[in-house]
Structure 1
C-alpha cells in the first residue's frame, strides 16, 4: 500500500457502448472519420419527427442473459456492458472485493421502463404495473448490477450531475484512490433517454435541433448555423488504479488521470453563465490539480453541445483559461450526439485515444465558424499534435461544470 494521498491514478481499462460502435476502437474510427451517426427515429412510438443517435449492434451474450436483459432498462444494460468490458480490458484487476469500488454516472434513470409502465397504468390500472419497475428504473441500478456481477463489496456509488455525471464519476473514482478508500475503481456513465416523452420534453424546451430533414447534419458544435443538440445514448467506463499498483501487477496503463475539478454556476437551471466563468473555473482547477499550466494542454475535447448559448459560453471560458495559447478543440457530439449522463465518460475515452495517437479528430458538421468565438476548432480532417496532456469538459443542466485532465504515462 502506498502512503501518498496524491498518488498518480492510471486508466488501465476502457469500455464503450456508443451509437458509433460498441468498442473503443469503433468509437475512435467514427470520430476520426468525422461522420455523424444521427438519424430520424422510426418505429411505432415515433411519428417521424425526432432525431437521435441510437446504439446499434450491441452483443450482450457474454455479459447478460436474455432473461436478465428483459428485466433491465437499456441504460443498465449499457452500463454493465461497458463496465465489464473495461474490467476485462484491464486484465480483471481487484483481488480483494472489499477494496474494489464502482462509481457510475446517470442523469435520469430508467426512462424506457418508466414510460412503458406509465402507459400500462393509464390504460389498465395499477395491477398492470410491473412489480420490478422500481428496481429497473432506479438510477443506481447500473452500479448495483455491476457490483453484483463482479462480487465487489466496496463502495458502489451513483453520481447525478446531469450531463457532467460521467465525468464526475471518474473524478470521484480518482478521489477514492487518492484517499486510499479503494484500490481498484470502475468509473463511468450510462444513459438511455431516446423515448418519446423525454424527447418531447427536451424539444419543448427548445434545446434540440430541428433539422429532421437532414439528421446527419443536425449536431454541429461551435458552427454558426447550429440550432440545438441531438440526443444520444450509450455508456463509457474506465478502470482506475494507482499507477504504481498497476505497474506492479504488470498492467500497461493507457494514461494518467492527472486532474479533476468541478464548479457550479449557481445561475440558472438550463442556461450557463454567459461569460463562461463557472466553466473556466472547472478548467483552471483541473489543470492546477494536474500540476500543469494551461500552456501544457495539447488539445481540448470540448463539451460542445451544438446549442447556441452553451457553445458560446464554453468558447468564452476557453479564451479566459488559455488566452493566446489556443489549443486545438474538438467536439465529439458532432458524431455521437449528446449522451447526457454518459457523455463525460465516453468523451474521456475519446480524449485518451486522441492523446495516445497524437491526433485530434475533426468536429463533424463544423463548416462555418461563428464570428467572435475565437477558438481553434479542428474540422474537415484530423490534426496531428505533440504528445502531451489533454483536457476534456462536461457541463450539465443545473450549472454543473466538470473538467478532467489526462496525460501520458
Structure 2
C-alpha cells in the first residue's frame, strides 16, 4: 500500500484562529475557557465553555456565502483554507484529471445544530405559518461542510462525512488515510468542525451530568485525571489536515510534517454514553492501530489521551492504556485540559497537536491536574503542569464517542 503523509494543517480553536497561534498557546499551557457569550447561559447549571474568539467569517468568504452556511461550515472553510495554503496547493490551477484524484472527508458530531435551533425559534415565535429559510436543510446537514470544501476547491474525488460522535474527525482521518494508501486518491482533506455551543447542547449535556459546573473558575474546570474533576468543558472550532500520497508530495517538493502509519477503530458495545470499567473498546482500538502500523507498544513515545475530565471516562481510558502499554513508560497527556472538548472536531485538532509534537520534539502539558485520582493505575507516565522536551518517534491519538465508538491514529516523525 502507498505511504501517506501530512503536508498541510489548519485550525480554528478556542486558543487561536491559526495553527501557529494555537500551538504556541498549547505549549504555554493556556486555557481557552471563559463565560459563554453566544447565548444567555445564566440559568444553566454550566455557564462557561471554550469558545472560538474574534472569528470573522468575512475574512474567508463574502457576505452572501456567510448567510448560506452554519457556523460549523464557516469554521470548516476557514481551517481548510489555511491547511490548503500551508500545503502550497491551489487546486483551481490544477488539471481536471488531478482534481479527480483529490477529495474531502469531513466530520462533525452535530452539524448545523445552531441553525436548527434558530429556525425552530422563528417558527414557534410566529403565527404558525411555516416560513423557513431556503438554506435551512443544507445549512443543517452534517455532510454539507465536506460538499462546500469540494465545491470551493473543485475537488472531484471521494467526498463524504463521518459521524461517530466525539470520535468523528479521527474516523475521518482514518478513512482518508485508507483512501490514499489503497490508491483511490492522491490528496485528501480530512478533519472536522463543531459549533455546538448552543442552549440545547449545553442543556442536554447538563441534563446528562456530563459538563463541569465549576462556574467560579472556568479556566481550571477541565482537569483530566484529577480526583476533583466534575465533567468536561464544551468547546468549538475546526481542525484540517492535508493528507497526501508520499511519492506525490516528494515529487512536488511539499513540506512533510509527519507520516500517518496506522488507524484502529472499535466499539465498547457497552452503554449509550458510558465507558466500560475495563476500557475494552479503547484497548481494542489502540491494539488495532498498532497492528495496522506494524508497531509494538514500546514504539509509541506519547499518547494524546481522549481524557475529557469525566469521572468514569478518564479512568476507563487509563485502564485501557495500562493494559496495552504496561511497563513501556509511554508519556500520556490530555490537551483537552486547555482546549476543552471540541466534540466531533476533537480528533482533528488533537491530530494537529500530535503532528506538531513530533515535529518540535515537545509534549504538551496537562494543566489543572493537582491531585491525581487514586483510581489511576500506578506507574503511568502522566505529563502534568508543563510541556516536556522529548525525542518522539511515534505518537498515538485517542478519541472516543457516545455510542461506544473508539478511534486511534498513529503518526510517525517525518
1:191-210 superposed matches below 5 A: 191-210=194-213
**Conserved in 2, the CA contact under 8 Å of 1:220 and 1:364?**
yes
Q: Deviations over 1:177-216 (max 9, x none)?
A: 0111111100001101000111000100000001111111
Match of 1:12 among 7, 23, 29: 7
**Conserved in 1, the CA contact under 8 Å of 2:38 and 2:198?**
no
Aligned with 2:353: secondary structure?
helix
**Conserved in 1, the CA contact under 8 Å of 2:123 and 2:132?**
yes
In structure 2, how many angstroms separate the alpha carbons of the residues matched to 1:43 and 1:62? 20
| Alignment of 1:64 onto 2:89 | no
| Alignment of 1:88 onto 2:118 | no
The CA deviation at 1:29 is 1.3
The CA deviation at 1:316 is 0.3
Q: Which residue of 2 aligns with 1:102?
A: 104
Q: Which residue of 1 aligns with 2:392?
A: 387
The two structures, once aligned, show a CA RMSD in angstroms of 1.3
In structure 2, how many angstroms separate the alpha carbons of the residues matched to 1:269 and 1:40? 29
In structure 2, how many angstroms separate the alpha carbons of the residues matched to 1:267 and 1:336? 28
Aligned with 2:215: secondary structure?
coil
In structure 2, how many angstroms separate the alpha carbons of the residues matched to 1:364 and 1:73? 32
**Conserved in 2, the CA contact under 8 Å of 1:40 and 1:48?**
no
Tell me whether 63-72 or 292-301 shows the greater mean CA deviation.
Answer: 63-72
Q: Which residue of 2 aligns with 1:123?
A: 125
Q: Which residue of 1 aligns with 2:33?
A: 38
| Alignment of 1:113 onto 2:115 | yes
The CA deviation at 1:313 is 0.4
Q: Which residue of 2 aligns with 1:76?
A: 73
Tell me whether 240-249 or 394-403 shows the greater mean CA deviation.
Answer: 240-249
| Alignment of 1:245 onto 2:240 | no
Tell me whether 55-64 or 77-86 shows the greater mean CA deviation.
Answer: 55-64
Structure 1 runs (4+) deviating above 3 angstroms are 42-45, 59-62
Q: Which residue of 2 aligns with 1:364?
A: 367
The CA deviation at 1:62 is 4.6
The CA deviation at 1:129 is 2.2
**Conserved in 2, the CA contact under 8 Å of 1:223 and 1:367?**
yes
Q: Which residue of 2 aligns with 1:221?
A: 224
In structure 2, how many angstroms separate the alpha carbons of the residues matched to 1:67 and 1:128? 20
In structure 2, how many angstroms separate the alpha carbons of the residues matched to 1:263 and 1:133? 34
Number of aligned pairs?
404
TM-score of the aligned structures, taking structure 1 as reference length: 0.96
TM-score of the aligned structures, taking structure 2 as reference length: 0.95
- Where do 5+ consecutive residues of structure 2 fail to align? none
Aligned with 1:88: secondary structure?
helix
**Conserved in 1, the CA contact under 8 Å of 2:58 and 2:66?**
no
Aligned with 1:324: secondary structure?
coil
- Where do 5+ consecutive residues of structure 1 fail to align? 1-5
Q: Which residue of 2 aligns with 1:3?
A: none
The CA deviation at 1:131 is 2.1
**Conserved in 1, the CA contact under 8 Å of 2:39 and 2:199?**
no
Match of 1:317 among 315, 320, 335: 320
| Alignment of 1:154 onto 2:157 | yes
**Conserved in 2, the CA contact under 8 Å of 1:42 and 1:48?**
no
